[in-house]
Amino acid sequence: MTTMAVRGGRPLEGTVAVRGAKNLVSKAMVAALLGRTPSRLRNVPDVSDVGIVSSLLTLHGVTVRPGDERGEIVMDPAGVERADVADINAHAGSSRVPILLCGPLLHRLGRAFIPDLGGCRIGDRPIDFHLDALRGFGAVVDKEPDGLHITAPTGLKGMKLSLPYPSVGATEQTLLTAVCAEGVTELSNAAVEPEIMDLIAILQKMGAIIEVHTDRVIRVTGVPALSGYTHRALPDRIEAASWACAALATGGHVTVDGARQADMMTFLNVFRRVGGEFAVADSGITFWHPGGQLSSIALETHVHPGFMTDWQQPLAVALTQASGLSILHETVYENRFGFAGALTSMGATIQLYRECLGGLPCRFGQRNFVHSAVLSGPSKLYAADLEIPDLRGGFSYLIAALAAQGTSTVRGIDIIKRGYENFESKLAGLGADVS
Ligand code: EPZ
């Protein structure tokens, strides 16, 4: 387990660059499987989730190599082949992306395999929507002890599907399968996150026909074949917001090169309501704490265009420094306050509730899920010995340690490498005292 010592109490000052969004890049790499010619993806961050998807593609006969510019990869799917189930299981352990290979593999090989899925422990994270979608296209799912074996004995056909919840992954699953299915697919209650729009842009470059309507309806007209693409991944708005929250919590001033206002409107509104300031430039966004007291807020996470669940944890650390009561209602995952205990041990005052503390319709109320929080601040934070629970919670621990008085020990920082490129050197570049 890798450990970082963080001597807190210094404002973060300086510039960091964010590159492509992990949550688009991994899906864009899967899309390359659908092309008859090589695909070229730019702005790819050096994070471990990208390495996992590279290995999975390689196992399936795709050649993955660096391109001409830094952060460019070229994927050649000419030799797509079946992979050994044991190998898939060995490589996929810590990612949820393998499930998205199903549609492309069914189109290319007529069969696919889903291992026991990993990903962050932030709730049950079922895959029922994915399986319902695949079955809707005509796939047959067999549960075996080693995982799910999926075939398409009569091919994949377009269909009508309404998702019970606008799931990002299930929307991507449907898109990646519908583009080459026979006929038209109409998906209602789809997720419309910027990363999904970027995936749609990629698929359109490949030759797909996809219409996005204003009411969460996406219509896809299947085509017989797709070609490769060249694309620059949209910037990582989760990483950008994480650095913004780190600037706010430490009383600092951080320019995030590459951050894009259009993808972060909802975050920026909240940042301003809390009392943070920002300035938008062509090349990125600068975030800072203007001095004085921060304001408490009531906030609910939601699917896009709402406030992202992945922004909630870093912001919660900054809210420990706001004066008054802040109320958080998490409506996307049932178990995303696992980090609250550690913050409390550092001096924060946080009460967790099973009730919905907000007005958004939520699937977790009255079901015993602890999914609301009340933070009372400002609280002085003190160093602690912390063990990272999940990716976003982990980065939040780092922010808390940076804001705290004394030297914290943060264990398990490898999890952070799943989604934050070179974060150790970025922290050092911002003047953080870490080793
Ligand atoms: C994606 O996860 C992201 N991961 C998550 O980021 C992100 O938090 C999430 O979308 C929401 O924005 C990747 O893109 C790799 P969902 P995904 O399907 O697609 C329930 C990070 O830290 N659900 O939109 O798995 C599910 O349990 C990660 O970067 C079902 O019930 O999320 C959750 O409550 C964490 N059945 C809700 O829907 C299903 O079959 C939303 O999940 C699928 C989902």
Give the pLDDT mean for 303-308.
98
Judged by DSSP in three states, 116 sits in coil
Of 180, 212, 232, the residue at which a domain comes to its end is 232
* Tokens standing for residue 204: 């359109």
Residue 240: what pLDDT?
98
Gap from CA of 377 to ligand 1 centroid (Å): 30
Ligand 1 pocket test, pick from 125, 132, 308, 364 with the greatest ligand atom count within 8 Å of Cβ, gives 125
Examine the domain organization and report whether 241 and 371 are in the same domain: yes
Gap from CA of 308 to ligand 1 centroid (Å): 11
- Return the ligand 1 atom nearest residue 129 CA: 40
- Name the residue range of residue 223's domain: 22-232
Three-class secondary structure assignment of 162-212: ECCCCCHHHHHHHHHHHCCCECEEEEECCCCCHHHHHHHHHHHHHCCEEEE
pLDDT band for position 96 (cuts 50, 70, 90)? confident
Examine the domain organization and report whether 359 and 247 are in the same domain: yes
Decide which of 40 and 83 is more confident. Answer: 40
Q: pLDDT at residue 223 above 60?
A: yes
Examine the domain organization and report whether 379 and 293 are in the same domain: yes
Ligand 1 pocket test, pick from 162, 167, 266 with the greatest ligand atom count within 8 Å of Cβ, gives 167
Q: pLDDT at residue 92 above 90?
A: no
Backbone phi, psi, residue 399, to 5°: -60, -45
Examine the domain organization and report whether 112 and 241 are in the same domain: no
Gap from CA of 31 to ligand 1 centroid (Å): 18
pLDDT band for position 123 (cuts 50, 70, 90)? low
pLDDT band for position 120 (cuts 50, 70, 90)? low
Examine the domain organization and report whether 136 and 166 are in the same domain: yes
Mean pLDDT, the chain, as a whole number?
95
Examine the domain organization and report whether 243 and 207 are in the same domain: no
Residue 289: what pLDDT?
98
Q: pLDDT at residue 179 above 80?
A: yes
Q: In whole angstroms, what is the distance from residue 389 CA to residue 120 CA?
A: 8
Examine the domain organization and report whether 241 and 202 are in the same domain: no
Decide which of 86 and 231 is more confident. Answer: 231
* Tokens standing for residue 232: 């620059």
Examine the domain organization and report whether 149 and 196 are in the same domain: yes
Query: Quick one: CA dihedral 152, 158, 161, 167, positive or negative?
Result: positive
Residue 118: what pLDDT?
55
Residue 126: what pLDDT?
86
The per-residue pLDDT for range 186-201, each reduced to its tens digit, is 999 999 999 999 999 9
**Residues in CB range of 145: below 8 A, 6 or more apart:** none
Give the pLDDT mean for 130-150.
92
Residues known to be catalytic: 120
Query: Quick one: CA dihedral 310, 403, 283, 51, positive or negative?
Result: negative
Gap from CA of 363 to ligand 1 centroid (Å): 14
pLDDT band for position 85 (cuts 50, 70, 90)? confident
Of 211, 232, 253, the residue at which a domain comes to its end is 232
Examine the domain organization and report whether 83 and 176 are in the same domain: yes
Examine the domain organization and report whether 97 and 206 are in the same domain: yes
Give the pLDDT mean for 141-151.
89
Decide which of 147 and 120 is more confident. Answer: 147
* Tokens standing for residue 229: 């693409």
Gap from CA of 168 to ligand 1 centroid (Å): 6
**Rg (alpha carbons) of the chain, rounded to whole number:** 22
Give the pLDDT mean for 151-159.
96
Residue 296: what pLDDT?
98
Examine the domain organization and report whether 85 and 202 are in the same domain: yes
Find out whether the beta carbon of 164 lies less than 6 Å from any atom of ligand 1. Answer: no
Judged by DSSP in three states, 399 sits in helix
CA 406 vs. chain centroid, Å, equals: 31
Which domain CATH number covers 124?
Answer: 3.65.10.10
Question: Cis peptide before 305, with omega less than 30 degrees from 0?
Answer: yes
Q: pLDDT at residue 94 above 90?
A: no
Find out whether the beta carbon of 171 lies less than 6 Å from any atom of ligand 1. Answer: no
Q: pLDDT at residue 238 above 80?
A: yes
Q: Torsion angle of alpha carbons 238, 434, 95, 126, nearest 10°?
A: -60
Give the pLDDT mean for 281-288.
98
Question: Cis peptide before 378, with omega less than 30 degrees from 0?
Answer: yes
Residue 359: what pLDDT?
94
Examine the domain organization and report whether 214 and 274 are in the same domain: no
pLDDT band for position 89 (cuts 50, 70, 90)? confident
Give the pLDDT mean for 356-382.
94
Residue 277: its H or E element: strand 277-281
The per-residue pLDDT for range 342-364, each reduced to its tens digit, is 999 999 999 999 999 999 989 99
The per-residue pLDDT for range 407-416, each reduced to its tens digit, is 999 999 999 9
**Number of domains composing the chain:** 2
Q: pLDDT at residue 117 above 70?
A: no
Residue 32: what pLDDT?
98
Of 232, 250, 274, the residue at which a domain comes to its end is 232
Find out whether the beta carbon of 305 lies less than 6 Å from any atom of ligand 1. Answer: no
Q: Which residue stretches of 251-347 are H helix?
A: 265-274, 309-319, 340-345
Give the pLDDT mean for 109-131.
77
- Return the ligand 1 atom nearest residue 310 CA: 8
pLDDT band for position 366 (cuts 50, 70, 90)? confident
Residue 126: its H or E element: none
Residue 95: what pLDDT?
76
